[in-house]
Structure 1
Amino acid sequence: MRRPALLSLIALPLAGCMTAERPAGYAPPSEVAWAWASFDAATIRSSGAGGLADRAAGRRITADDPIRVASVSKIVTALTVLRLAEQGRLDLDRDVSAWLGWSLRNPAFPDRPITLRMLLSHTGSVRDNGENYVVRLGKTIRPQAENAGSFDPDHAPGSFFRYSNLNFGLVGTVIERATGERFDRVARTQVLEPLELDACFNWATCSDAAAPKAVVLYDEDGSAILDDLGGKRPACPVFVEPGTSCTLERYEQGTNGALFSPQGGLRISATGLTVIGRMLLNEGRHGGRAFLSPASVRTMTSPAWTYNGSNGVTDDGLYCSYGIAIQLIPAPNAACRDDLFGSGRRAFGHAGEAYRVRSGLWLDPVRKTGIAFVAANNGKDPPAGRSAFKAIEEWLAAKLR
């Protein structure tokens, strides 16, 4: 019998899950700008926000303001792949070298192919080596992908989990090679436009109306780190190699899919994230129409890897079960600290962290509800929570009743 699309993770036992309550009395510091929206399969149920999206303008943040949501972006990249796979243009289990035009291999395991499924589930033996996943305009991704330091020499592709942003730069490159279009444009036509979202990777394809609502990201000294746009989309939406002009028309598609940050560069609001969440709760349907097949939703939200005590790096218990760009929490292992809700409540989705932002999109497959949240300006070391998540993430997740 076919299992319901979103119930694959709820049969896991709860043994070993932490059930401590969220730290009492926590509230976000005044400098943090935060927003959230809870939803069910049909609609947004409630929302809230606090703090300033733009300190210079005195503009307060709302749940409708776009922000760089960091690794939550990986969900949209994976949806792009799955849509292309349903069209027969990509295959999760084919050697990605077939699209790249060059051989992607872990030099310690030269006979083991690496697939899209492995890259999307962080099991392909690729690893981040510094910021090797930030490949600027004027460079190509191939040298980074052929560097021995970008691979785990001890574990073969498909055997071990290690979270890596470089995976998604490679996925973006495969997407470009398969379509002949820039990654950000493919994500727009395959995912963002069909879901009727005014969202974009690195601002390049957002509307002119979105930029004035951007959430500015600040460092601890009050200086702007990113997205201080002054009401306009940036003239150059990508990182550029010194000495290279920002002339995107000259960019050769398929040489650097990392350019538009498929691992973390999505600008979208909390309410925008609820649209993606509702589509997943509805087994791939949006607005009464099929966006993604139930089978693809099952593939995305079923565990491709689960920690057994020795088969992966969990980052202090944060990553213990993973699908296709989807975290499944909490995992049934006493070494894991991924109980975001503090009660053993099952959920799937993804966390995000970069440029002092903490974000999340989490869905409860039993109650058919979910929550999307963002919080900017958290500083380099925000207060810890009772779990591997930070206190701000636990506080926002608790808005899901």
Structure 2
Amino acid sequence: MTGRFRHFGVATLVGLFLGLTGSPEQAFGKQGSKNEIRPAKVMVDFTSSTISTRFVQGNAGVKDRLVTIGDPVRVASISKLVVALGVMRLVDQGKLDLDRDVNAYLGWSARNPAFPDAPITLRQILSHRSGLRDMVDYIIPLDGNLQQVLAANKAWDLRYPPGDYFNYANINSPLIAAIMEGATGERFDRLMAGLVLAPLKLDACFNWGAGCSAKRRAKAVTLLRPNGDLAADPAFSKKVICNVAPATDGNCNIDALYRLRLNGSTFSPQGGLRISARDLAKIGQLLLKGGQPLLSKRSFEEMVGASWTFDGSNGQDDHGYFKAYGLGVHLLDDGNGGQWIGHVGEAYSLRAGFWVNRKSGRGFFQYVNMIDEFAPVGHCFDSCP
């Protein structure tokens, strides 16, 4: 997700969510011919016990293959919320402490050079108050070293000590993955499969690592740019494709090159979750059930409560886009009395929104692909571009 946003009227959401607007064809235009690749436009609604399809249109990025709510798609930054569920499970198990110096888990030093004596905590990292910023590349080669990346001054906001300032940054996520590995001795993708995906019986994974069934990759939604160029997840073939950022020499042997705690970006915790609309709705149901059956009540409330609230000067609010943030969770006031928790996704010409209203007991997930990557975007809340 980047910092380019367009804000939409919440009245549209209220009408759309309650089913008071026109049909999907009216909202998104009529279907094209069978010979062209049409953008995938998918929306599912859910309660704690039901999942229903609002609309499903277009192709799965492949000619003559219609998209379904069961097709896995790269949901971009919505991945951060799912990673937070894994973190909070480790908190419940006593393997992680939200307020402990993360260096205790890393085995190396993560420090803002301007504040070398100020410890950094998981709570700060999950809520984007660590001081890290996206002035370095958060996609690290397979033979790269996260410690070296974070040693650069430009990786940090040197103006504020940890905990004082909100700045949404993807680079926080590889650090979270490295901390999880340090606390458990297990690779990030396998951790997430064991902590979250398998217990919920989800056929999902990060960067096609552990958690997805053998045939899952073949069902992936190929993400295309508006002109039809490939953005991510090419159509499946038997040819071996590297699903992670390869080493600097092109090597893609994860088993040989991956080092725990030193490259948390390999499985893209910031945006690499592949999951279907149906399965993500199951995670939404978990949120509506207060984190059950995975999280304790205390951990869940810590996760979805506001760790940061904008006061006019304590963060980069992106022109009003960010007003409050929890632990991997965006908190949103719809302006009409509704309070929502969830996250947006924006990457590889995809726009997505995953939102839950705990009071009403309802939620939804929607996504659209083949969007101009440089177009301004909103929350994918009341609408997606």
Question: Is TM-score (shorter-chain normalized) higher than 0.5?
Answer: yes
Per-residue deviation at 1:346?
1.6
Per-residue deviation at 1:370?
0.5
* Partners of 1:233 and 1:64 in 2: CA distance: 24
- Do the aligned partners of 1:204 and 1:233 also contact (CA within 8 Å) in 2? no
- Amino acid in the other structure paired with 1:394: D
Does residue 306 (structure 1) correspond to residue 296 (structure 2)? The answer is no
Q: What corresponds to 2:5 in structure 1?
A: none
Question: Structure 1 residue aligned with 2:126, among 100, 120, 131?
Answer: 120
Question: Structure 1 residue aligned with 2:192, among 171, 174, 187?
Answer: 187
Report SS of the residue matched to 1:93.
Answer: coil
Per-residue deviation at 1:208?
2.0
Does residue 260 (structure 1) correspond to residue 267 (structure 2)? The answer is yes
- Do the aligned partners of 1:202 and 1:261 also contact (CA within 8 Å) in 2? yes
Does residue 211 (structure 1) correspond to residue 211 (structure 2)? The answer is no
Does residue 389 (structure 1) correspond to residue 382 (structure 2)? The answer is no
Segments of 4+ moved more than 3 angstroms: 17-26, 28-31, 231-235, 381-384
Q: What corresponds to 2:339 in structure 1?
A: 346
Question: How do 1:68-217 residues align onto structure 2 when only pairs under 5 Å count?
Answer: 68-130=74-136, 132-205=137-210, 206-217=212-223
- Do the aligned partners of 1:36 and 1:48 also contact (CA within 8 Å) in 2? yes
Question: How do 1:262-341 residues align onto structure 2 when only pairs under 5 Å count?
Answer: 262-285=269-292, 290-330=293-333, 339=334
- Amino acid in the other structure paired with 2:251: S
Report SS of the residue matched to 2:28.
Answer: coil
Q: Compare 185-194 and 219-228 and name the one that shifted more.
A: 219-228
* Partners of 1:243 and 1:356 in 2: CA distance: 28
Change over 3 Å in CA distance of 1:296–1:139 after alignment to 2: same
- Amino acid in the other structure paired with 2:169: S
Per-residue deviation at 1:55?
2.6
- Do the aligned partners of 1:93 and 1:116 also contact (CA within 8 Å) in 2? yes
- Do the aligned partners of 1:48 and 1:62 also contact (CA within 8 Å) in 2? no
* Partners of 1:203 and 1:380 in 2: CA distance: 23
Per-residue deviation at 1:45?
3.5
* Partners of 1:161 and 1:281 in 2: CA distance: 27
* Partners of 1:48 and 1:221 in 2: CA distance: 24
Report SS of the residue matched to 1:70.
Answer: coil
Report SS of the residue matched to 1:394.
Answer: coil
Change over 3 Å in CA distance of 1:345–1:232 after alignment to 2: farther
- Do the aligned partners of 1:36 and 1:396 also contact (CA within 8 Å) in 2? no
Per-residue deviation at 1:252?
1.8
- Do the aligned partners of 1:18 and 1:343 also contact (CA within 8 Å) in 2? no
Change over 3 Å in CA distance of 1:157–1:65 after alignment to 2: same
RMSD over aligned Cα, in angstroms? 2.2
Unmatched tracts of structure 2, length 5 or more: 1-7, 33-37
* Partners of 2:60 and 2:302 in 1: CA distance: 36
Per-residue deviation at 1:233?
9.2
Q: Compare 248-257 and 22-31 and name the one that shifted more.
A: 22-31
Per-residue deviation at 1:396?
5.7
Question: Structure 2 residue aligned with 1:379, among 372, 381, 385?
Answer: 372
- Amino acid in the other structure paired with 1:266: L
Q: What corresponds to 1:335 in structure 2?
A: none
- Amino acid in the other structure paired with 1:84: L
Report SS of the residue matched to 2:43.
Answer: strand
* Partners of 1:103 and 1:110 in 2: CA distance: 10
Change over 3 Å in CA distance of 1:262–1:28 after alignment to 2: farther
- Do the aligned partners of 1:137 and 1:244 also contact (CA within 8 Å) in 2? no
Unmatched tracts of structure 1, length 5 or more: 1-16, 331-338
- Do the aligned partners of 1:104 and 1:114 also contact (CA within 8 Å) in 2? yes
* Partners of 2:150 and 2:358 in 1: CA distance: 37
- Do the aligned partners of 2:141 and 2:248 also contact (CA within 8 Å) in 1? no
* Partners of 1:299 and 1:372 in 2: CA distance: 23
Among all aligned residue pairs of Structure 1 and Structure 2, give the percentage whose two residues are the same amino acid: 40
Residue by residue over 1:328-356, the C-alpha shift from the partner in whole angstroms, topping out at 9 and shown as x without a partner, is 112xxxxxxxx4xx644221111110111
Per-residue deviation at 1:26?
4.7
Instruction: Give the number of aligned pairs.
Output: 360
Change over 3 Å in CA distance of 1:219–1:234 after alignment to 2: farther
